[in-house]
Amino acid sequence: MTTIAPAVASRSGVTSTPLLAVDGLTVRFGLRDATVHAVTDLDLTVRAGELLAIVGESGCGKSVLAHALLGLLPGNATVTGRALLHQPAGPPLDLLDCGERRLARKVRGSQVGLIPQSPATALNPVRTGRRLIEETLRAHGHTRTDVGVAAERVAADVGLDPADLDRYPFELSGGMAQRLVTALALAPDPPLLLADEPTTGLDRPLVDHTLDLLRQRCDAGGAVVLITHDLAAARRVADTVAVMYASRVVEHGDAERFFAAPVHPYGAALLDALPDRAFRAVPGYPPMLTALPSGCAFAPRCTRATDACSASPGPTAYETGTVRCHHPLLPEGAR
């Protein structure tokens, strides 16, 4: 399938240069008696200077997407599609087909960083924060003479005191551990950063501080994929928004447009659940990823569903994005 990338116009730093182009990414997990349809036919383009927020309910496939791009899925995963990472020199690199050796040596950390969703399982319990950051910096080119200063600078950027660096992970609060894994991801200064719920466990000032750090990376020419349940966070910093539901991206477009007038009924329902809007829960429950319907997965929860929704909708382009819906919230002439 050809990727249809939305126009990006909400932030002046976004360029037309594609940094990552994901085409038809599909991830399946084979279980003993079932198959988990974790990600289905996903197309995304992320440009230099862009902050893309991926939003949706738990279990829709957001984190699986990030792990698939870095080859961090378990052995029962089957991954198909392409994910082309454009490099400063040389041809694009397909992250899904370059092999573990190259991912480990040339991609993870240096070209694509990851802020993991669960710091407790990501941090080495027998290394202090200082040693973890210093080892990361040395692995990516810093010398022994400057690594100490650089480690404290990176820690300060995420709001960690120097004394915090001399603690082991089990001595850190959840919020401090979250800031430490953020520092580890930022230390090598990768062009692309995958941030999976990076504000978990942080109080509001630190949430805003972390979001501002991510925004600054984009304004300096990098790119960030922000995976989040926090729609307020996405609204604060995102250029573009991708809405995932039941393993698929159902809406992908300009962030300002999305928060003003979402196009997919599910996106509208998510925004209506916010306290400053209708404060109305999305009715019903998402389908099991082991038993997805053949048509539109959102149809059982959608007030606009008709018989047409028994067939799976393809992508439809509109002025600032794409949507997968038979009955999008668009004027008839805009379809």
Residue 182 pLDDT: 97
- Distance in angstroms (rounded) separating the CA atoms of residues 120 and 122: 6
Residue 333 pLDDT: 57
Using the predicted structure, report yes or no on whether residue 256 has a pLDDT greater than 80: yes
Using the predicted structure, report yes or no on whether residue 47 has a pLDDT greater than 90: yes
Residue 179 pLDDT: 95
Q: Which amino acid is at 189?
A: D
Using the predicted structure, report yes or no on whether residue 10 has a pLDDT greater than 60: no
Count of C-beta atoms within a 10 Å radius of residue 244: 25
Task: For residue 126, name the pLDDT band (cuts at 50, 70, 90).
Answer: very high
Whether residue 293 contacts residue 21, with contact meaning beta carbons closer than 8 Å, is answered with no
Cα of 182 vs its chain's centroid, Å = 14
Cα 136 to Cα 72, 107, 183: the distances in Å are: 18, 14, 10
Using the predicted structure, report yes or no on whether residue 132 has a pLDDT greater than 50: yes
| Range list of β-strands (E), 11-125 | 18-30, 35-47, 51-55, 77-85, 93-94, 112-115
Residue 301 pLDDT: 96
* Helical segments of 24-128, H only: 62-69, 100-102, 119-122
pLDDT mean over 255-283: 96
pLDDT mean over 124-148: 91
Residue 127 pLDDT: 96
- Express each pLDDT in 167-195 by its tens digit: 999 999 999 999 999 999 999 999 999 99
pLDDT mean over 67-81: 98
Report the candidate in 60, 57, 66 with the shortest Cα–Cα distance to residue 224: 66
Residue 214 pLDDT: 97
Q: Which residue has the higher pLDDT, 162 or 258?
A: 258
Residue 4 pLDDT: 41
Residue 249 pLDDT: 98
For 301, how many CA atoms within 13 A lie in the half-sphere containing its CB? Answer: 20
How high does pLDDT run on average in the chain?
93
- Distance in angstroms (rounded) separating the CA atoms of residues 71 and 95: 8
Buried b (16+ CB within 10 A) or exposed e, 57-77: bebbbbbbbbbbbbbebeeeb
Report the candidate in 69, 8, 80, 63 with the shortest Cα–Cα distance to residue 322: 8
Count of C-beta atoms within a 10 Å radius of residue 79: 20
Instruction: Report the percent of the chain where pLDDT is more than 70.
Output: 95
Domain segments of the chain: what residues? 18-97+192-204+225-334
| CATH level 2 (architecture), domain 18-97+192-204+225-334 | 3-Layer(aba) Sandwich (3.40)
Three-state secondary structure call for residue 26: strand
Rg of the chain over CA atoms, in angstroms?
20
Among the residue ranges 10-19, 207-216, 271-280, the one predicted with the least confidence is 10-19
Instruction: Report the percent of the chain where pLDDT is more than 90.
Output: 87
Report the candidate in 203, 27, 198, 18 with the shortest Cα–Cα distance to residue 113: 198
Q: Which amino acid is at 88?
A: P
Report the candidate in 151, 64, 165 with the shortest Cα–Cα distance to residue 123: 165
Residue 331 pLDDT: 76
- Distance in angstroms (rounded) separating the CA atoms of residues 128 and 309: 54
Q: Which residue has the higher pLDDT, 9 or 215?
A: 215
- Distance in angstroms (rounded) separating the CA atoms of residues 73 and 51: 24
Whether residue 267 contacts residue 250, with contact meaning beta carbons closer than 8 Å, is answered with yes
Record the pTM. 0.93
Whether residue 303 contacts residue 265, with contact meaning beta carbons closer than 8 Å, is answered with yes
- Express each pLDDT in 292-311 by its tens digit: 999 999 999 999 999 999 99
Task: For residue 226, name the pLDDT band (cuts at 50, 70, 90).
Answer: very high
Using the predicted structure, report yes or no on whether residue 232 has a pLDDT greater than 50: yes
pLDDT mean over 34-56: 97
Task: For residue 12, name the pLDDT band (cuts at 50, 70, 90).
Answer: low
Residue 3 pLDDT: 42
Residue 8 pLDDT: 47
- Distance in angstroms (rounded) separating the CA atoms of residues 276 and 213: 26
Using the predicted structure, report yes or no on whether residue 58 has a pLDDT greater than 50: yes
pLDDT mean over 39-59: 96
Residue 112 phi/psi, 5-degree rounding, is -130, 115
Helix%, strand%, coil% for the chain, nearest 5: 35, 25, 45
